[in-house]
A and B are shown apart, each in its own frame.
Chain A
Amino acid sequence: MKKIFVLFTLLIVTLSCHEDFDDNSVLTPKVDFNFTHNWDDTAINSSNLETETVTNANGEVINISSIRYLVSSFQLTNLAGETYSFEGYNLTDLAIEDSYNFIPEINNIPTGTYTLKFVWGFNEEDNIDGQYQDLNTANWSWPEMLGGGYHFLQFDGMYNVDTTNPLPFNFHNGTARVSEGVFEQNFAVIQLDTPITITNNTTIEVKMNLAELFTNPNTWDLNVLDTDLMPNYQAQKMMQQNIMSVFSIGEIAQ
C-alpha cells in the first residue's frame, strides 16, 4: 500500500512537472494562421467584398458577390528538416471575418525557423465524399458525377460590369473530370519558401492575392471561360496552375 502511495505521488509530481513544461510558451509556442485577402493593392474583406470594383489581367471589370475556399494539411518544416503537421482544415468565407483564422486543435511546436506548406482543397486521401459534417452543412460538396468530395473554391460574381451587358461568372474549383467516370486529382500543394522564425506564440499571416487567380500562368479570359467551369477539364487544370502564385507569407505576429 505504502509503495503504491509513493508511486502515485511521484506520478502526480511528474505529471504536474510535465504540465509546467507545456505552459512554458517559449519551449513549445502555439501557432495559428490568419488569411488576409487582396486584389493586388486593394485589401478585400467582408465590408468591401461586394462593393469593390476590380479589373483582372485580361481587362474584364468585375464585381464580386461571394468567395469561399478550402485549405488543409498544414505543415511547418524547420531547418533540420523536421516536419510538424497540423490536423484539420479551414473553409474561409470572405463574408465572415471569423473564418479567416485557422487555429489547429493541437498547435504546439518547438521554437525555430520554419517554412509553411499546405494543400489547396483536399488531397486525395482527405477528399472523401460526404465525410465532413461541417462542410456538408455548409453546402460545400462537389457533385458525385464530377468525382465527388468537396469544392476547393467558389468564386462568384459579375464581369463586364463597365458595359451595358454585365454577365455572371462561377469560378468553381475541385476534382477534374477527364471523361465520364474518369477523374483526376486537382488539389495543389502550396509551398511558401519565406522563412518564419517562431520564438513565441505566433500568428502566421497568409496573404491571398485574388487577382492572381486570373493571371499566372494562364491569363484568364472571362468572356470565354465564365460559367459551367466545373465539368470543364481544361478550365479545372488551368485553375490548378493559377493557384500556385496566389498565396504568400505576410506578417509574423508573436
Chain B
Amino acid sequence: MRHWLIYCFVFSILLGCSSEDAKQDNTYVPIPYQLDIPVLFQNKLIDPIIPIDNQLTVEGVALGKRLFFDNILSVNNTKACVSCHSPQNAFTDSNQFSVGVTNTSGSRNSMPLFNMAWNFDDRYFWDGHALGLEQQALEPVIDAIELGNDSWEPVEAKLNNHPEYPQLFKQAFGTSTITKTLVTKAIAQFERTLISGNSKFDKFSNGEVTLTAQEQNGLSVFMDESKGDCFHCHGNPNNPLWTDNKFHNNGLDATFSDLGLGQVTGNPNDNGKFKSPSLRNLAYTAPYMHDGRFTTLDEVIEHYSTGLQPSSTIDPLMKKVGQGGVNLSTQDKADLKAFLLTLSDPSFINNPAFIQQ
C-alpha cells in the first residue's frame, strides 16, 4: 500500500512537470489577477463586473498599463491616454477641454477614471454612448482631436512591428498577432484595477478615524432632504461609489447646446442629461461638470444653492428650481465642501501600481 502511494506521488510529479513543459512550449497560461477590493466595498456593494471574455490576468493588466501610458497609440507618437487621464488628477486632467494631437480641444471635460468595474450599467462617457470599457477604448485612438488616427490599422501595424509588444500580447492573450480587440481588452483590464477606496471618509466608515464637527455637519447637509439633498444621485455612506452612475439634468442650462444623453437615445426627454460623476477625488479633478464650466467646488455648491436653470427635462430632484436652488446658508455651504473633500483619496493618486514606472 505504502509503495503504491509513493508510485502515485512520483507519477503525479512527473505529470505535473510534463504539463508545465507543455504550457511553456505551446501556450503560456497567464496568471489570474486578484482585484484588490477594499473591505468597505466588499461589505457594502455587490461584486464588480468583469466580462467573462476578458478576465483579468497579471500579464493583461501590466500590458494594459503600458499601453495606457504609451504614445504609440497616437498618430504622431505625441499623446497617450494618460495625456488627458493623468494619475495625479485621479485620471482626468486639469483643463476645461483636453487637447489631443491636433492641439485643438473638444467640447467636453475629461473624466476621472476609477471604480469603473462597479458601473453596473456599463455605459461610458458623459452621455453614456459607449457600452463597456473595451468598446469605449476603441474611440480615443481614432478620434481626430484625441489620438488622431484615421483608423486602427496603422496602430495595429506599429504595435505588431514593435520589438516587445508581440511577445507581451502572446503572454497575455496567447497570440502575438495584435488587433484592436486585444489592445482594448488589455486597456480595459488595467482600467478595472483603478480602485479608489481609501479616503478619509472610507476610514471613518471603517471606524479608523473621526470626522470634524464641520465635516459631520457637511454630511448632514448632503443627506438632508430639506437641505442639500445630494444623496439621491451621488451615493451615501452605504454606497461608497458616491454616484448612481445614472443620467440626470441637474439644472445647468435652460437650453442645451450639448444634448447629452438625448443625442444618444434620440429621446427628447433625455436632452440635457449627463452621467452623475462620482464625488470621490474632487480635490484632484477640477474643473467640474461635462463642460468643465466650474473651476472650484464653491462654484458647484453655489450652482445647487442658487444657480439652477429651469428646463423641460430638469430632474424633479432639483426640487427648489423655482427658488433658484436649495439656498444653503454660508455655514452649510462651507461644511458641505469640507465633507466633500473627505471623499478624496490621496493613496489613489500616489499608488505606484497606477503610475508609470
What residues of B have a CB within 8 angstroms of the CB of A130 in the complex? 43-44, 237-238
Are A139 and B316 neighbours in the complex by a CB distance under 8 Å?
Answer: no
Interface range for B: 20 to 34
The answer, among A137, A143, A144, for a CB contact under 8 Å with B118, is: A137
Are B232 and A168 neighbours in the complex by a CB distance under 8 Å?
Answer: no
Are B318 and A168 neighbours in the complex by a CB distance under 8 Å?
Answer: yes
Are B236 and A139 neighbours in the complex by a CB distance under 8 Å?
Answer: yes
Are A137 and B237 neighbours in the complex by a CB distance under 8 Å?
Answer: no
Are B321 and A137 neighbours in the complex by a CB distance under 8 Å?
Answer: no
CB neighbors of B among A61-75 (8 A): 65
Distance in Å: Cβ of B118 to nearest Cβ of chain A: 7
Are A145 and B224 neighbours in the complex by a CB distance under 8 Å?
Answer: yes
Q: Is A77 an interface residue when CB atoms closer than 8 A count as contact?
A: no
Are B239 and A157 neighbours in the complex by a CB distance under 8 Å?
Answer: no
Are B226 and A228 neighbours in the complex by a CB distance under 8 Å?
Answer: yes
Are B238 and A136 neighbours in the complex by a CB distance under 8 Å?
Answer: yes
A156 to B248: give the CA distance in the assembly, Å. 13
Are A227 and B319 neighbours in the complex by a CB distance under 8 Å?
Answer: yes
Distance in Å: Cβ of B240 to nearest Cβ of chain A: 9
Are A139 and B45 neighbours in the complex by a CB distance under 8 Å?
Answer: no
Given contacts A137-B46, A145-B223, A230-B225, 11 further A-B contacts (CB under 8 A): A65-B316, A130-B43, A133-B44, A136-B238, A139-B235, A141-B238, A156-B317, A157-B316, A165-B322, A169-B319, A228-B225
Q: Is A158 an interface residue when CB atoms closer than 8 A count as contact?
A: yes
Q: What's the dominant secondary structure at chain B's contact region?
A: loop
A137 to B231: give the CA distance in the assembly, Å. 13
What residues of A have a CB within 8 angstroms of the CB of B223 in the complex? 143-145
CB neighbors of A among B168-227 (8 A): 220, 223-226
A156 to B233: give the CA distance in the assembly, Å. 13
Are A167 and B44 neighbours in the complex by a CB distance under 8 Å?
Answer: no
Q: Is B120 an interface residue when CB atoms closer than 8 A count as contact?
A: yes
| Minimal Cβ-Cβ distance residue in A for B226 | A228
CB-CB under 8 A for A50 and B269, given A228-B225, A231-B224: yes
CB-CB under 8 A for A168 and B45, given A137-B118, A143-B224, A145-B224: no
Q: Which 9 A-B pairs have the closest CB atoms?
A: A168-B316, A227-B319, A156-B316, A130-B238, A136-B238, A141-B238, A230-B225, A143-B223, A168-B319
The answer, among A65, A129, A168, for a CB contact under 8 Å with B238, is: A129
The answer, among A139, A143, A169, for a CB contact under 8 Å with B239, is: A139
| Minimal Cβ-Cβ distance residue in A for B233 | A139
What residues of A have a CB within 8 angstroms of the CB of B314 in the complex? 168
Are B45 and A136 neighbours in the complex by a CB distance under 8 Å?
Answer: yes
Q: Is B127 an interface residue when CB atoms closer than 8 A count as contact?
A: no
Give how many A residues have a beta carbon under 8 Å from the other chain's beta carbons. 30
CB-CB under 8 A for A170 and B269, given A130-B238, A143-B223: no
Q: Is B244 an interface residue when CB atoms closer than 8 A count as contact?
A: yes
Q: 1/0 per residue B283-322: CB within 8 Å of A? A: 0000000000000000000000000000000111111111
Are A133 and B225 neighbours in the complex by a CB distance under 8 Å?
Answer: no
Q: Is A134 an interface residue when CB atoms closer than 8 A count as contact?
A: yes
Are A170 and B319 neighbours in the complex by a CB distance under 8 Å?
Answer: yes
A130 to B244: give the CA distance in the assembly, Å. 16
Distance in Å: Cβ of A147 to nearest Cβ of chain B: 12
Q: Is A234 an interface residue when CB atoms closer than 8 A count as contact?
A: no
A145 to B236: give the CA distance in the assembly, Å. 12
Are B319 and A136 neighbours in the complex by a CB distance under 8 Å?
Answer: no
Q: 18 interchain pairs (CB within 8 A)?
A: A51-B269, A129-B238, A133-B46, A136-B238, A137-B45, A137-B118, A137-B239, A139-B232, A139-B239, A139-B244, A158-B316, A168-B315, A168-B316, A168-B321, A169-B316, A170-B319, A227-B319, A231-B225
